[in-house]
Structure 1
Amino acid sequence: MNAFIINHLLWFKAFHVIFMVAWFAGIFYLPRLFVNHAETTSREVAEHLKGMERRLLYFITPFAILTVLLGLVLIYAYGYSWFVSAKWLHIKLTLVILLLSYHGYCFKLVKTFQQDKNTRSGKFYRIFNEIPVLALFAVIILVYVKPS
């Protein structure tokens, strides 16, 4: 195992969590912008929301990438045998892959709104907004409780 990583493991963990929190702050807020965008009848408001959606998505994307990269560093630091035996981590990684897919789908939604082609209601985006909330609850429970 790399001595540098081991000596700085707590720093890697701290920044993993910091970047995750920053990512989730944005991934919670972006669908709320979609709700407002889907429900507005004002062209001026819609144009303003287009800019906010695009800027927010591009702002939080590096946080998602850094969260994943630091998570991989942590897995590497703990080693292969730990990875194989940590069944909770496999579930967490599945949820992270789903969250990354969700994040990627947000790019499609931003483009749809940019082109004024949205056909979904505010209610759809309210439900869509709950997906990362539920995923976060599950990830936190998995990380801290580590159910077997």
Structure 2
Amino acid sequence: MSDLLALAYPWTKSLHIISVISWMAALFYLPRLMVHHTEKVGVTGETHELFAMMEFKLARVIMRPAMHATWIFGLVLVFTPGIVDWSMIWPWTKGICVIAMTVFHTWLMIRMKAFQRGENQFSGRQYRIANEVPTVLMIIIVISVVVKF
């Protein structure tokens, strides 16, 4: 099995990177949609319905599958012999940040469902601040993986 994982490594890594890029794009864009939904649209009317549909499709058609693929290919990489040195700090830092990114993803899904029900509880400013969360986590993850401290 370990030989198969080693042979598949370049493909697994490529698919992991593609999945991460897709997931991150959605994590960056969904809060921006929510900013505009909050500040310009509100929670009723035809434009609200349009924004709710855009948020739903982004979250369910792009963001969720990309997160699942990121996790699957990431775990395959973790189990590929010789890839992760668990005695170092970087895999733990990355793992914690990926879990935090997943929690943020879940929070966005909850917010998206609240918008659909017409029950938004946050301001545009709060969504702008929330939009910085994936950026900070991404920076930590990339530095952890590249520098391998």
TM-score range relative to shorter protein = over 0.9
- The match for 1:99 is 101
The 3-state SS of whatever aligns with 1:117 is coil
SS at match of 2:119: coil
**For the residues of structure 1 that align with 2:115 and 2:107, how far apart are their CA atoms?**
13
Map of 2:32 onto structure 1: 32
Cα displacement (A) at 1:86: 3.1
Q: Separation in 1 of the partners of 2:49 and 2:40? A: 10
1:122-146 Cα offsets, whole Å, 9 max, x none, are 0010001110011111111111011
Q: Counterparts of 2:59 and 2:85 in 1: how far apart (Å)?
A: 31
Query: In the alignment, which residue of structure 2 is the partner of 1:74?
Result: 77
What's the offset of the Cα at 1:107?
A: 1.3
Q: Deviations over 1:79-112 (max 9, x none)?
A: 69x4421321111000000100111111110111
TM-score by length of 1: 0.92
Which ranges in structure 1 are unaligned for 5 or more consecutive residues?
A: none
C-alpha separation between the residues in 1 aligned to 2:66 and 2:88?
25
Question: Residue 87 of structure 1 aligns with which residue?
Answer: 89
Corresponding residue number in structure 2 for 1:11: 11
- Distance, in Å, in 1 between the alignment partners of 2:81 and 2:94 is 16
Pairing partner for 2:130 from 128, 131, 135: 128
- Provide runs of 4+ in structure 1 moved above 4 Å: none
**Percent of pairs with identical residues:** 34
Conserved 8 A contact 1:26-1:56: yes
Q: Is contact 2:2–2:81 with CA below 8 Å preserved after alignment?
A: no
Cα distance in 2, alignment partners of residues 116 and 25 from structure 1: 25
Instruction: Say what the alpha-carbon RMSD is for the aligned residues.
Output: 1.6
Name structure 2 gaps, 5 residues minimum: none
Deviations 1:43-91 (A, max 9, x none): 22211100000010002211111111111111111369x4421321111
User: Structure 1's 70 and 41: CA in aligned 2 closer, same or farther, altered over 3 A?
Assistant: closer
